[in-house]
Amino acid sequence: MPLRFLFALLTITASGYWLLTFIVKDLKKFSLYELIALTFGIGCGIINFQMGIMSLLKIKFSIGSLLLFQSPLHIIGVSRVFKKGFSYNEFKITKPSAMETVLLFLILFTVISVILEAISMPFAVWDSWSVWGYKATIIFSQRGIDQRIFQDFRTGGSYNPHYPLLFPLSEAYIWFFQGSIHEPSAKLFSALFFIALLAIFYCLLRKVFKRLFALGFTFLLSSLSPLVHSASIGYVDVPMAFYITTAVLYLWLYLRDADFSYFLLACLFLGIGMWTKNEGASQWIAVVASFLLLMWRKKIAFSRKNLFYLIAIPLAIYLPWIIFRISKGFWALKLGDAFDEKFRWGEMGRLPMILTLFIQPVVDVRSWSLLWLVFVMTILLSFKARNLFLLYFIALQSVLYVVVYFFWPQPMPTLQWNIGNSLSRTLSEIAPIVLFFIAQQLRERFMLSSETAKE
């Protein structure tokens, strides 16, 4: 069973690597850990696109059919490796200091704890099973994307049938290689996104900070309880955090280095993120709006051509899902009822309650107060344009969260319960970007080392 799981991961990562070689000519700009995390994330997008095409062609899912459909990509990829070789940035590893050793131990302890909790039991939380795991079960048992996924649970279907399918398809993909439904492996798959998120976060910090500082902020990220909890129980907030963090931070790198391959990577991850959760669409809107604000304020020289790419590439990746969901009768993100006169969608009494629930995590000393209070404090520091992009994105995304909750077609008591139940998980999706923003602002203020370290 473990060998089959690892083989499935190998096919996913290999698929991502082949595509990455077409996007980025020089892979030596990436460290090995960064490269593995990127190819894993891209590979998940590829297998989902593949399974979607197979479903449209009415090809039943199995190990044989899945590998056969991938074979052209693997053949081309292997031939390119034989021709050009496998390359990455080989940092010289130096002996860690005592403080770095402690931070590494704490990060690894969290990672191991998440993995052990993930594999110790089946789905133990309702949402991780009903929204994602049950859909994966339908896909596995029917060997395809069955109509029941898009029917309401009251008629024999699934919960939240309008949600994107990246994670259920990925879970089912793993099960096809394992030969049976194995819920702990699905939870472990979510934990792998947590590891990939930490790897990307650390590697991008290492491009501008010394190892101790990068490890310190990576430890802070690994200790955020909502993120750790979501990773261990199979919530999709962690994959969503991985995709949007990777997209936004590579856009930040693009603004710093003017490397177009970083820009293309960011567009790719924005598109895959929209296949992961509905929130991916609002995050893409926040990214585009942030660049429009920077252009309007003349903070960056960003061509209209690149703006078109930023809009068109993620949208082109997302378009098949839009067409698919419309064909199933899902025209909007469940907001259609908000315009029903019976609901009184504009009642202002909802706003104070929503804002209060958003402020509560800021003053909750158990999880979020330090992160968000330091974020507010660092806003007072001076900005470079690339850091201003991060600030715009965080602010606009937060506003979009409030707007969605404000128009959500639910009575006040139900809405209050749903916000209280989901807000910390929702905020965890942008928490890595907040931490990265804080790190960059502190660097600008205290002139911390910006040398690209060679470890």
CA 146, 149, 155, 160: dihedral to nearest 10 degrees? -170
Residue 100, class by beta-carbon neighbours within 10 Å (0-12 exposed, 13-18 middle, 19+ buried)? middle
pLDDT of residue 154: 58
- State whether residue 165 is helix, strand or coil: coil
Determine the Cα–Cα distance for residues 275 and 318; give it in Å rounded to an integer: 7
pLDDT of residue 453: 43
pLDDT of residue 335: 46
Query: Cβ(43)–Cβ(51) under 8 Å?
Result: no
pLDDT of residue 402: 79
Q: What is the pTM of this model?
A: 0.89
pLDDT of residue 202: 95
Determine the Cα–Cα distance for residues 1 and 180; give it in Å rounded to an integer: 10
How confident is the chain (455 residues) per 10-residue block, as mean pLDDT?
Answer: 85 89 83 91 91 87 89 79 63 78 93 88 72 84 81 62 85 90 84 94 90 90 86 86 95 90 94 89 92 81 86 90 71 48 52 72 56 67 76 87 74 70 76 88 65 43
SS (H, E, C) 305-318: HHHHHHHHHHHHHH
Determine the Cα–Cα distance for residues 291 and 201; give it in Å rounded to an integer: 22
Query: Cβ(328)–Cβ(157) under 8 Å?
Result: no
pLDDT of residue 88: 62
Determine the Cα–Cα distance for residues 193 and 186; give it in Å rounded to an integer: 11
Determine the Cα–Cα distance for residues 335 and 346; give it in Å rounded to an integer: 13
Q: Which of 285, 287, 241 is nearest to 263 (CA)?
A: 287
- State whether residue 89 is helix, strand or coil: strand
Spans of all domains in the chain: 2-90+99-327
Rounded to 5 degrees, φ, ψ at 383 are: -125, 145
Determine the Cα–Cα distance for residues 285 and 397; give it in Å rounded to an integer: 8
pLDDT of residue 142: 87
Determine the Cα–Cα distance for residues 62 and 184; give it in Å rounded to an integer: 20
Gyration radius of the chain over CA positions:
22
Encode 292-304: b = buried (16+ Cβ within 10 Å), e = exposed.
ebbeeeebeebee
Q: Which of 281, 288, 249 is nearest to 265 (CA)?
A: 249
